[in-house]
Amino acid sequence: MSVLFQSSSGWVLDAHSLIDQSNARCVRWADKHKSRVKCSFKKQCFQILKSHYCQSASTDVDGGNAEVLQKTDKPSKKRKRKQNELNQGEIDSQALHEKIRSVVLEGTKSLVDSAQSLGYLNGQTKTEKEPLPWQECRLAALCEMAKELPLVDDEEQAECVQLLVTEDGCTSHVDLFSRVTENKNDWGAVVTLTGEEYVIPPHTAFLLSDFTRIQPLVQHGRRFDLIVMDPPWENKSVKRSRRYSSLPSSQLKRLPVPLLASPNCLVVTWVTNRPSHLRFVRDELYPHWGVQVVAEWFWVKVTTSGQFVFPLDSQHKRPYETLVLGRYRSSANTSAGPSEMAEVPVEDKRLIVSVPSALHSQKPSLSEVLRPYVRAEAGCLELFARSLQPGWTSWGNEVLKFQHISYFTLTPAGDQSFKGKDCA
């Protein structure tokens, strides 16, 4: 279980443990030979021991006159603006922050206090200081190259799904770019794809592509009860760092959500703290798809000792992100999916508290916290995914990014842990 504690305020999650649960039993294929291994996501990725800011004086999770956390970076050579010199975007952001500040502060304190009483978020770590794993992700570039390949013709559309590993352990003929790839086994698989090794959890399906090649996902024929997306929002920080390609908000309307969503599908979108992005999702994107907003939640990022990773009132960066939740309201021409389920009400202003990954753009899995709001055996889809989850279908041009073997520690697994199971 990744849920360490739950209350009316929300949840405290252990994002690392859920990844490890997904990959506890894997088969590593090499030259058609298989060996049994356990794949553990490297612990140092989730060892955020202290705030990204050094101690000075502001508000911490306890809400008292704690010491503010000031940035330790070298002074910027840019012209410093006067304290009251805010642009309109910053004014809007501050107004939005003031509306939810007490919800975040009081809810986080309650959840962290309860988790600490159970022995969690106590700041202890068994991991030695090790450098973060790093792997240059070439997946987006490969997607661009794949555009030069011919599209699958109509006769081949029926074969838009393929197995990850054939009976003889072969993965050399897997078409990652124009077919949905499935691992239907009860075991995870460590396989070589595009010349690199990746850890593929059990019961997963994925398509590596961008907008121009998303059609196989639609042709797959599945309707989903839960759709989660983490769009690559445009912002100045991303443009400066060039860590990934951003996407204009208007392009998100091209996503074929009405063709993928079942009636009453729960649609969840990660949104930056930029008010214009939030307004776009609520007032343009969701109405365009026929999705009705039902709630807003907040992911609160804390250290291993339960402190905010950034000052709550920081002008530079907030310690939380917003999730907008909505229900897809099917129309007459999109009613061909599964029979409608009894809608489960979604509470507003809930918090998800967890230690974030130190790896940029890696979000915690929402599978356990969202489970009560969808039907049993729900079909789940993640758009703009950068990792895989058991029981989910995932799409994106970096869909395997955090499945690369460099992020895992592999250890041999004895026969006892695999007793009575078929790993082929």
- Tell me if 375 is assigned to some domain: yes
Q: What is the pLDDT of residue 338?
A: 47
Per DSSP bridges, beta strands 291-301 and 351-354 are: parallel
- Tell me if 417 is assigned to some domain: no
- 382 has a pLDDT exceeding 90: yes
**What average pLDDT does range 378-402 have in this prediction?**
96
- 69 has a pLDDT exceeding 60: no
> From CA 245, how far away is CA 232, in angstroms rounded?
7
Q: Look at the alpha carbons of 283, 255, 363, 359 in this order and tell me if their dihedral is positive or negative.
A: negative
* pLDDT tens track for 359-368: 988 999 999 9
Asked whether 59 and 102 are in contact (CB, 8 A), the reply is no
* pLDDT tens track for 140-184: 999 988 888 776 655 555 578 899 987 666 666 789 999 999 999
- Tell me if 81 is assigned to some domain: no
Confidence label for 79 from pLDDT (cuts 50, 70 and 90): low
Domain total in the chain? 1
Q: What is the pLDDT of residue 55?
A: 43
- Tell me if 76 is assigned to some domain: no
Asked whether 103 and 353 are in contact (CB, 8 A), the reply is no
Q: Look at the alpha carbons of 291, 214, 162, 405 in this order and tell me if their dihedral is positive or negative.
A: negative
Coil/strand/helix, residue 77: coil
Q: What is the pLDDT of residue 50?
A: 86
**Closest alpha carbon to 140 in 177, 192, 174:** 177
129 C-beta neighbours (distance < 10 Å), count: 8
Domain with 322, as residue range(s), is: 3-63+88-412
Average pLDDT, the chain: 84
- Tell me if 79 is assigned to some domain: no
Q: Is 124 exposed, middle or buried (0-12, 13-18, 19+ CB in 10 A)?
A: exposed
Q: What is the pTM of this model?
A: 0.88
Asked whether 407 and 133 are in contact (CB, 8 A), the reply is yes
Per DSSP bridges, beta strands 26-30 and 33-41 are: antiparallel
Coil/strand/helix, residue 340: coil
**What average pLDDT does range 399-424 have in this prediction?**
75
Q: What is the pLDDT of residue 330?
A: 77
CATH number of the domain where residue 350 is located: 3.40.50.150
- 131 has a pLDDT exceeding 80: yes
**What average pLDDT does range 27-56 have in this prediction?**
82
Lowest mean pLDDT among 68-72, 137-141, 371-375: 68-72
